[in-house]
Amino acid sequence: MSELPYTSHYPNSLPIWDKLKDHQTKLKQIHLRDEFAKDPDRAKRFFKQAAGIYLDYSKNLITDETIELLSELANEAGLPEAITAMFNGEKINNSEERPALHVALRNQSSTAFEVDGENVMPEVKAALNQMERFVWSIHSAQWRGYTNKRFTDVVHLGIGGSYLGPKVVSAALKPYWKAGINLHYVANIDGTHITEELKHLSPETTLFIIASKSFGTQETIMNAKSAKAWFLRNGGEEEDVHKHFVAITANTQKAYNFGIREENIFPMWDWVGGRYSLWSTIGLPIALTIGIENFKNLLAGAHEMDEHFRTAPITENIPAILGLLGVWYSNFFNADSHAILPYDHYLRALPAHIQQLDMESNGKTVTHKGEPVEWSTGPIIWGGAGANGQHAYHQLLHQGTHFLPADFIMPLRTHNHIGDHHALLLSNCLSQSQALMQGKTLDEAKAELKAQGRTDEQIEELAPHKVIPGNRPSNTMLFEKATPKTIGALIAMYEHKVFVQGVIWSINSFDQWGVELGKELGEHIYEIITGAKETNGQDSSTKNLIDLFKQINNRI
Ligand SMILES: O=P(O)(O)OC[C@H]1O[C@H](O)[C@H](O)[C@@H](O)[C@@H]1O
């Protein structure tokens, strides 16, 4: 296993770590409400803009000194060297001996990106051209179904990174969808998912994309087999399969064996991690719905963020600032979760994508050298669409006992002008971060009750319930409009934030060994259910539950 080509460190042994601890003790005394009151320029000082994204990070538990110290932390942990290593194609995914070169997929410059001494840009461009030809042939109905009808529906079969990324982007860019094609996603191995999606579709006009980097993921392969069986059961013939099934994979042979023609297999590369793959051919469903030009704009937006990340000094660098603030809360305030709150119906799938991106990347307990970490790593990512959350979990954000940093995300202009909905949505978004920051004091609560004409006794009883502590941190990320470019930049921003945190924590953000054990055990359990193996060796809980399943389904 190769050493990482940048500084190897334990963050809690860095000289800056103790300084940050002392600083945190001081900072615990401040209240953000007072910081805003005494410094009218606070919002201006903690504000950045890059690649169409406006970041207001003034409602964080920080002072100028915090930013200086965090930037020192980044330097001591070797962040600048790590960024260079990633862009240079070094094997920063050291447990799998691979680079993490998703930035090459959206490269708009003439820079070469090398893997093992070979420039991958010609392959990347060739794959994009293959996508372009395919999208054109479907849109122009040159490529038709087996009864010569044009395609009306595309079903994308994939899971994890081969699902969440395309799903969030295609939903975020719904206003750009070309007329005539409906897109469906099937990820879950639960047969209900595919049954529900296929219910109203016709095999004559349905095209399937099987998206699996490995072409070995149980859920996707099972769904692909069921889709093929549905196709054959409903009129399609074996020799028609190639007209209705295409694949995206790094395992060409397996896709070929499934019945897909070589020219309909789109390449993937092992230097692109699943959760970083929406920019590759895995983005085919995005390109099919929004068109290739818009897909290229998505890549261009991400590239702009890449360039910002690669070149901006740490204190000016949006992903670096976000990553360092995350470290600040995880390691110095013991925050164990982080909320993603998009105020945009089209972006409602964003929390699920960021959840995989962040939790699969940084949910680690050993350093890249395999030594146990003595510091917290990736937080629990959760969230949902605003304003809906305000009428559900925001109560806990405002008055609960947990410390929960949050990101508020919103486009300044809407695609759907209807009444004054958008101004009201923005008011909701801003009022939430304001309430989290300023809270409500006991005196304010009492004054409010008094103004309502409550008796003194009622005021004493009720006021404590109305107190809101405030001083709870959040970021606000705005952009002019949800366009392919801004969505590209937004997602790339989160990717780099996750990388920054992985570097500080000295972990490998690009492997995911933790998901393997469940897969292996699942295979054993399935063999027991089908009778291929005995229950020997199973713990009594699992054995009982298997028996119950077999009994209810008459499989004994
Ligand atoms: O694209 P595939 O090879 O089918 O992989 C799909 C997904 O499954 C794996 O278990 C990993 O947890 C994910 O990172 C990956 O994106």
**Mean of pLDDT values over 32-50:** 98
Rounded to the nearest angstrom, the distance between the alpha carbon of 213 and the centre of ligand 1 is: 7
Q: Where are the alpha helices (DSSP H) in 312-368?
A: 318-332, 350-362
pLDDT at 267 (0 to 100):
97
Rounded to the nearest angstrom, the distance between the alpha carbon of 257 and the centre of ligand 1 is: 20
**What are the tokens at 131?**
């996508």
Quote the ipTM score: 0.97
pLDDT at 5 (0 to 100):
67
pLDDT per residue as tens digits for the range 194-225: 999 999 999 999 999 999 999 999 999 999 99
Identified catalytic residue from 90, 197, 360, 495: 360
d(CA 443, CA 440): 8
Q: Given the CA of residue 273, which atom of ligand 1 is nearest to it?
A: 14
Rounded to the nearest angstrom, the distance between the alpha carbon of 159 and the centre of ligand 1 is: 6
Q: Which pLDDT band, with edges at 50, 70 and 90, does 70 fall under?
A: very high
Whether 360 is a known active-site residue: answer yes
Any idea of the CA torsion for 221, 227, 228, 234, to the nearest 10 degrees? Answer: 170
pLDDT per residue as tens digits for the range 380-406: 999 999 999 999 999 999 999 999 999
**What are the tokens at 123?**
């392959």
Q: Given the CA of residue 219, which atom of ligand 1 is nearest to it?
A: 4
Using the predicted structure, report yes or no on whether residue 480 has a pLDDT greater than 90: yes
Q: Which pLDDT band, with edges at 50, 70 and 90, does 8 fall under?
A: confident
Ligand 1 atom 6: the closest Cα is on which residue? 160
512 touches ligand 1 (CB under 6 Å): yes
pLDDT per residue as tens digits for the range 498-530: 999 999 999 999 999 999 999 999 999 999 999
Return mean pLDDT, the chain. 96
Rounded to the nearest angstrom, the distance between the alpha carbon of 96 and the centre of ligand 1 is: 15
Which residue from 511, 512, 521 has its CB within 8 A of the most atoms of ligand 1, so it is best to mutate? Answer: 512
pLDDT at 534 (0 to 100):
86
Burial class (CB in 10 A: 0-12, 13-18, 19+), 389: buried
Whether 244 is a known active-site residue: answer no
CA distances from 545 to 272, 403, 541, 548, 549 (A): 38, 37, 6, 5, 6
pLDDT per residue as tens digits for the range 337-351: 999 999 999 999 999
241 touches ligand 1 (CB under 6 Å): no
* Cis? peptide before 387, omega within 30° of 0: yes
d(CA 98, CA 86): 11
**Mean of pLDDT values over 120-129:** 97
pLDDT at 513 (0 to 100):
96
Identified catalytic residue from 199, 200, 391, 417: 391
**Mean of pLDDT values over 259-285:** 96
In three-state secondary structure terms, 51 is coil
pLDDT at 160 (0 to 100):
97
Q: For strand 53-56 and strand 474-479, is the pairing parallel, antiparallel, or unpaired?
A: antiparallel
pLDDT at 555 (0 to 100):
82
Burial class (CB in 10 A: 0-12, 13-18, 19+), 148: exposed
pLDDT at 554 (0 to 100):
87
275 touches ligand 1 (CB under 6 Å): yes
Ligand 1 atom 14: the closest Cα is on which residue? 274
Rounded to the nearest angstrom, the distance between the alpha carbon of 245 and the centre of ligand 1 is: 20
Partners of residue 405 on adjacent β-strands:
none
d(CA 226, CA 220): 10
pLDDT at 143 (0 to 100):
97
Using the predicted structure, report yes or no on whether residue 24 has a pLDDT greater than 80: yes
Using the predicted structure, report yes or no on whether residue 117 has a pLDDT greater than 90: yes
Question: For the chain, what percent of residues have pLDDT higher than 90?
Answer: 96
218 touches ligand 1 (CB under 6 Å): no
d(CA 421, CA 275): 34
**Mean of pLDDT values over 38-45:** 97
Whether 345 is a known active-site residue: answer no
CA distances from 139 to 134, 135, 290 (A): 9, 6, 11
Using the predicted structure, report yes or no on whether residue 232 has a pLDDT greater than 90: yes
pLDDT at 497 (0 to 100):
98
Using the predicted structure, report yes or no on whether residue 169 has a pLDDT greater than 90: yes
pLDDT at 4 (0 to 100):
74
Using the predicted structure, report yes or no on whether residue 537 has a pLDDT greater than 90: no
**Mean of pLDDT values over 24-38:** 96
Q: Per-residue DSSP letters for 487-538?
A: HHHHHHHHHHHHHHHHHHHT--TT--GGGHHHHHHHHHHHHHHTTSS--TT-
How much is the pTM? 0.97
The answer to whether 380 and 359 are in contact (CB under 8 A) is: yes
